[in-house]
Amino acid sequence: MEHEFSGEVIEWRGPAPYYFVPVPDEDAAALKEAASAAGHHSWGMLPIRARLGTTEWKTSLWSKDGGYLLPLKDGVRKPQGLDAGDTVDLRLTFEAPARKQTRREQTQRKPAKRVPVPRTAGSREPVTDEQLTIVPANEASWEDLQAVFGAGDPGRCWCQRFRMLPKESWASEGPDELASRLRDQTACGNRKAQETSGLIAYVDGEPVGWCAVAPRADHPRLLRDFRVPWLGRNEDRTDPTVWAVTCFVTRAGYRRRGIARALARATVPFARGSGAQALEGYPDLVDGGSVGTLAMFTAAGFTEVSRPGNRRAVLRINF
């Protein structure tokens, strides 16, 4: 479903200035009806593809007063010299989610390919800055990211824990579907992509680590079910200028060599350069796990803002 319309850029002055274009009532009603028919429900937000001139990007419409607002991020707005009060011509595309496969269809899929660990892996020596390279995921190949995830637990979740919708699970969606979602989110191999959702680390040219970092509002389950970021805090959950670091994966054979710590440091300039006004992490104080450790975030310059329980903390950087 596509909708084309002209609208006026407006500015919202919340914790940080942000720009939107209101969707006309008629188009908003049609989009809402299409989303409802497709069974889409995600915290009042609707995933969409937007096009302004020759620039196309993925985002989510915000629900407000029964209608929708289209966020106009700085990466799109500033190169075209747009400001509050300007009129723009937009095209929105909503695509209904693909039909879910039955369990029988899922079991008939070919098993995920196992990626062997390179013979050079296994050292416990810390990785040096000369050996390490970290790039946005869209500058890496999908094969490199697959190599990082391998065939263990990361290859079952594909970094979708906080992104799944109500009633979805690892079992119901299956690893192939979750991997496809991550591929779309990262835009691996597409250097011209306007958005990517993480960073990939290389040691001597070998892909070895992954870190998920993206707008906090892009994670429906983080907003809806995960209590840690919200306990004792008065936060606007849908603020797209706040980003979150939600996952670390280090390839087997390269762990405990400082790769995740280096990725945590790299999230700061990455998020700032992508237009974030703040960046958060939610480390596990006991063993770190896939969400990282307290030491990793503090070493990267994050400051603790809350500790909702004995095991979890919220750390943040304001830009």
pLDDT (mean) for 13-30: 76
Sign of CA dihedral 194, 196, 201, 207: negative
171: left (phi over 0), alpha (psi -120 to 50) or beta: alpha
Residues 6+ apart with CB under 8 A from 255: none
Q: What is the pLDDT of residues 139-169, one digit of tens each?
A: 999 999 999 998 666 778 899 999 988 888 8
pLDDT digits (tens, 9 = 90+) for 63-88: 777 788 888 877 788 888 888 889 99
| Most confidently predicted of 8-12, 43-47, 232-236 | 232-236
Lowest mean pLDDT among 107-121, 139-153, 198-212, 252-266: 107-121
State residue 272's pLDDT score.
94
Looking at 78-141, list the stretches that DSSP marks H as alpha helix, in order from N- to C-terminal side.
103-107
Domain 2-93 has CATH 2.40.30.100: yes
**Could you count the other beta carbons within 10 Å of the beta carbon of residue 166?**
11
Q: Is the dihedral of CA 26, 27, 28, 29 positive or negative?
A: positive
Q: What is the mean pLDDT of residues 172-177?
A: 88
Q: Which tokens hold the place of 147?
A: 């190599």
At 245, list the tokens: 């670091």
Residue 284 DSSP class: B
Q: Which of 75, 58, 94, 63 is nearest to 18 (CA)?
A: 75
User: What is the chain's Cα-based Rg?
Assistant: 20
State yes or no: pLDDT of 42 exceeds 50. no
Query: Given pLDDT bands bounded at 50, 70 and 90, which one contains residue 96?
Result: low
The Cα–Cα gap between 175 and 159 comes to: 11
Classify domain 126-318 at the CATH class level.
Answer: alpha beta
pLDDT score recorded for residue 153: 67
User: What pLDDT, on the 0 to 100 scale, is given for residue 43?
Assistant: 44
What are the extents of the domains in the chain? Answer: 2-93, 126-318
- How many Cα atoms sit within 13 Å of 263 on the Cβ side? 32
Residue at 102: amino acid letter: T
Confidence band, pLDDT 50/70/90 cuts, at residue 195: confident
For residue 296, the model assigns a pLDDT of 95
Interval 250-301: pLDDT, tens: 998 898 899 999 999 999 999 999 999 999 999 999 888 899 999 999 999 9
φ/ψ of residue 213, rounded to 5: -145, 120
Report the pLDDT averaged over residues 180-202. 92
CA-based end-to-end distance of the chain: 37
> What are the angstrom distances between the C-alpha of 113 and each of 176, 225, 282?
11, 32, 31
**Phi-psi bin for 4: left (phi > 0), alpha (psi -120 to 50), beta?**
beta
Q: Is a pLDDT exceeding 90 seen at residue 57?
A: no
Tokens of 274: 């992508």
CA–CA dist 310, 294 (Å, integer):
13
Among residues 197, 185, 205, the alpha carbon closest in space to that of 247 is found at: 197
Residue type, 9: V
pLDDT for 107: 47
Hey, is 58 helix, strand or coil? strand
Q: What are phi and psi of 148, to 5 degrees?
A: -65, -45
d(CA 121, CA 117) in angstroms, rounded, equals: 7
